[in-house]
Amino acid sequence: MFTKDSIIGVVGCGAMGSGIAQVAATAGHKTIVYDSNAAALERARTQLEESLAKLVGKQKISAEKASEISKLIVFTGALADLKVSKLVIEAIVENIEVKQSVFRQLESVVTEHCVLASNTSSLSITSIASACSRPERVLGIHFFNPATLMPLVEIIPGIATDMVIANHCQALVNSFGKVTVMAKDTPGFIVNRVARPFYSEALRIYEEQLADMATIDWAMRELGGFKMGPFELMDLIGHDVNYIVTETVWKQFYYDPRFKPSLSQKRLLEAGFLGRKSGRGFYDYREGADQPKPLKDEALGKYILNRILCMLINEACDTLYLGIASATDIDLAMTKGVNYPKGLLAWADEIGLAQVLVSLNALYDEYGEDRYRACVKLKQLVKQGKLFY
């Protein structure tokens, strides 16, 4: 379906659209980038040249390759220029009405063989596709930020998507050098769903004053092997982004308490303490500010790691149980999309599923909250003496 000659269209040249265009052009595809904002187009053009110059400086690519990539990307302010595309990836503002309207316009421009994809993080692909007269050619192709560096891409067929088209898109994105996983069209897909407890359980422990944020971060980094602790990571992502993802996933799951957002994080957002980018978040990044020191209490650290990890495993298990993705895709998604040190299901096998279940049941007994209910599949596997792999 796709060849090296297939022209890729990108709608929106913000953080994601520009990165996606660079990825496609680096793989040798002519790429046409459309944006309705002339200033954004100009900015993207400049940033592309800077990004390519940096890669040449670091000897990641040759000057010839950089010039080749640059020539393959065409920026335009006319949607009609996308008509030659074989695949169009939309990466505009995260708003369902605006996306539906753009997809409707796209259908009137492109050929009948063109595939239409959205890079949405949180909206329903099925709902975006419902605006189209041919929803079978619409799917989600979800890159992570920055698209040029993050290896993972989630492929999300909607209810009406033709699976042959979805499989061809997966092969195309694989040919870009990315690692792809297939996920059902459900809130947060794989990564943005399974990762929620990394933040929310850490926030819960913090709010209950069982440990301070520096100690929680230390435990997850030093004892768990995560690259960053939950609080430093939330500060890096920005609370405007991280809180909104949590709230969106929670609402879309009909307010399931397992996804409930945190008031402490909401207050930071209200105060404009967005994290690193605003100089303050959970931590204070202003010059000379005191940095809290972790307690480095081994027993407490192990409790923190075990509690957050078991909640992550429970979410991964539910994602498997509900057929959202395969076990290998769930583990790949978390290691390649958010750099977890191990796949969660493989990690659970290593710890012992009975041990994970004991920990979850202990939390459930203590709190009496549905949030801590163990996944049915985990209970079944323990009963049968089986593992995930």
Q: Which residues bind ligand NAD (CB under 6 A)?
A: 11-17, 35-37, 40, 91-94, 98, 102, 119-121, 144-145
* CB of residue 94 to ligand NAD, shortest distance in Å: 4
Q: How far apart are CA 269 and CA 265, in angstroms?
A: 6
* CB of residue 13 to ligand NAD, shortest distance in Å: 5
Is the bond into 341 cis (omega within 30 degrees of 0)?
A: no
Q: DSSP string spanning 59-80? A: TSS-HHHHHHHHHHEEEES-GG
Closer to ligand NAD by Cβ: residue 147 or 312: 147
Tell me how crowded residue 287 is: count the other CB atoms within 10 A of its CB. Answer: 6
Closer to ligand NAD by Cβ: residue 17 or 301: 17
Closer to ligand NAD by Cβ: residue 16 or 360: 16
Amino acid, res. 376: V
Q: Determine whether 209 is exposed, middle or buried from the number of CB atoms within 10 Å of its CB (0-12, 13-18, 19+).
A: exposed
Q: Is the dihedral of CA 313, 314, 317, 323 positive or negative?
A: negative
Q: Which two tokens stand for residue 212?
A: 């301070």
Q: Which two tokens stand for residue 256?
A: 């399931």
* CB of residue 357 to ligand NAD, shortest distance in Å: 33
**Separation in Å, CA 174 to CA 68, 152, 171, 309, 371:** 21, 10, 5, 30, 37
Q: How far apart are CA 312 and CA 198, in angstroms?
A: 7
Q: How far apart are CA 340 and CA 228, in angstroms?
A: 10
Closer to ligand NAD by Cβ: residue 11 or 333: 11
* CB of residue 374 to ligand NAD, shortest distance in Å: 31
Instruction: Please choose, from the candidates 181, 82, 111, 201, the residue with its C-alpha nearest in 3D space to the C-alpha of residue 140.
Output: 181
Q: Which two tokens stand for residue 190?
A: 């794989």
* CB of residue 137 to ligand NAD, shortest distance in Å: 19
Convert 90-100 to b/e letters by CB count within 10 Å (16 or more is b): bbbeeeeeebb
Which residue out of 154, 201, 232, 315 is catalytically annotated? 154
Which residue out of 85, 118, 122, 192 is catalytically annotated? 192
Closer to ligand NAD by Cβ: residue 339 or 361: 339
Closer to ligand NAD by Cβ: residue 103 or 273: 103
* CB of residue 44 to ligand NAD, shortest distance in Å: 7
Q: How far apart are CA 389 and CA 370, in angstroms?
A: 27
Position closest to ligand NAD via CB = 14
Which residue out of 18, 121, 122, 314 is catalytically annotated? 121
Clarify whether 37 is annotated catalytic. Answer: no
Closer to ligand NAD by Cβ: residue 18 or 319: 18
Tell me how crowded residue 334 is: count the other CB atoms within 10 A of its CB. Answer: 26
Clarify whether 167 is annotated catalytic. Answer: no
* CB of residue 209 to ligand NAD, shortest distance in Å: 32
Which residue out of 18, 118, 119, 142 is catalytically annotated? 142
Q: How far apart are CA 182 and CA 253, in angstroms?
A: 20
Clarify whether 121 is annotated catalytic. Answer: yes
> Is the Cβ–Cβ distance between 12 and 89 less than 8 Å?
no
* CB of residue 23 to ligand NAD, shortest distance in Å: 13
Closer to ligand NAD by Cβ: residue 145 or 380: 145
Q: What are phi and psi of 221, to 5 degrees?
A: -75, -55
Active site residues: 121, 142, 154, 192
